[in-house]
Amino acid sequence: MKILILNGSPRLDGNTRTALHEIEKGIRANKSGAEVEFIDVACRKLSPCIACDGCKENGGSCVIPDESSALVQKVFEADVVIFGTPVYWWGVSAQLKMLIDKFYSKDTVFKEQKKRIGLVIVGAAGPENKEYELIRGQFQCICDYLGWNLLFTESISAWNVGDLAKNTQKMTELGDIWKKL
């Protein structure tokens, strides 16, 4: 099983990365045979989709010379993709959104796959804030459109660097996510 973990937070010592690393640790310790790759999307050279449709004439690869084609190919090859995003203005980070927009280049082939998806959302606001449901809803729509299966959503309240690491109950839950894959 190929598992791809995509960190959409530019804060490399931040809570989103902490959450994803805890999930990764649990998978590596408990799911022998799983091939896991962790990518910090913010460290990759990405540009926004400009709706040129060049990808449709180019075998499903974006024609803009950035790293999006390589990353979309990794998504294509993965059985499970776990997305992590900080909440920025009630939505996903711009870095992650740039990559998601490039899914347009392979939407036809993506629809032929039964990919399994995980989602980790980290915001400063408490769990009652509707931002978590907005982002989960966006991913549910993407999954419905592509025929993918949203396996789990983890909504986490954490503000400053180190906040999540202090939340031992949530860290334990994250370490057990492998059971859902």
62 versus 87: smaller Cβ distance to ligand FMN: 87
Q: Smallest gap, in angstroms, from Cβ of residue 78 to ligand FMN?
A: 22
Q: Tell me whether residue 76 or residue 88 sits nearer to ligand FMN (CB atom).
A: 88
Whether the CB-CB separation of 95 and 102 falls below 8 Å is answered with no
26, 60, 86, 118: which one contacts ligand FMN (CB under 6 A)?
Answer: 86
Does 134 sit near ligand FMN (CB under 6 A)? no
Cα 38 to chain centroid, rounded: 10
Q: Which positions from 30 to 69 touch ligand FMN by CB under 6 A, shown as an x/- string?
A: ----------------------------------------
Q: Are 38 and 21 in contact (CB under 8 A)?
A: yes
Give the residue at shortest CB distance from ligand FMN. 14
Of the CA atoms within 13 Å of residue 82, those in its CB half-sphere come to 28
Residue 1 CB, nearest approach to ligand FMN (Å) = 26
Instruction: Report which of 31, 44, 50 is spatially closest to residue 73, judged by C-alpha positions.
Output: 44
Q: How many CB atoms lie within 10 A of CB 126?
A: 8
Place of tokens 């400053």: 160
Residue 14 lies near ligand FMN (rule: CB under 6 A): yes
Q: Which stretch binds ligand FMN (CB under 6 A): 37-45, 46-54, 83-91, 140-148?
A: 83-91
Identify the sign of the CA torsion 175, 176, 177, 181: positive
Element (H, E) at 2: strand 2-7
Interaction of residue 90 with ligand FMN, rule CB under 6 A: yes
Q: Write out the two tokens for 146.
A: 């592509």
**Residues 157-176 contacting ligand FMN, CB under 6 A:** 158-159
Residues lying near ligand FMN in the complex (CB under 6 A) are found at 9, 11, 14-17, 86-90, 122-125, 131, 158-159
